[in-house]
Amino acid sequence: MKTSLYNQHSEHTEWQNKLDFYKDEIKVMENRLAEVSQKNTATEIRMEIEHFQNQFLIQRDTISKISHHISAEEKQIQAEIKHNPVASDHRKAEDHVTEREMVSDFENNFTNLRKEYNTFLSKRF
């Protein structure tokens, strides 16, 4: 399937904004987790806290990889436009299915993590 360069650029911007939002959300979640950590010293709770700390690291790493991939795609679009600026409004490129799936998979995984995290918090407060 083909799509316009403008549509691809627009999606890249939307995805980068989403990823920035998730990075901010992880910071909020970590701050809340630090509060739980200060109030709870039980081994079982410490293990759960460590689990979430690890998950946050993994999610941050995933965000970084996806963001890097999207940035590389965006550079390709910019190079194509620079190469032939006159036709850039009408030129089509292969749809970026891989990036769309990466973002979608990340969002699904993050939603599941958020649910698990909120269930954990509801038991602690």
pLDDT class for 95, splitting at 50, 70, 90?
Answer: confident
What is the model's pTM? 0.88
> What is the rounded average pLDDT for all residues in the chain?
91
3-state secondary structure of 3: strand
Instruction: Note the pLDDT tens digit of each residue in 34-73.
Output: 999 998 889 999 999 999 999 999 999 999 999 999 999 9
CB distance 119 to 48 below 8 Å: no
Question: What is the token pair recorded at 84?
Answer: 């032939």
Return the pLDDT at 89.
62
Q: Which residue has the higher pLDDT, 13 or 84?
A: 13
Per-residue model confidence (pLDDT) at position 1: 76
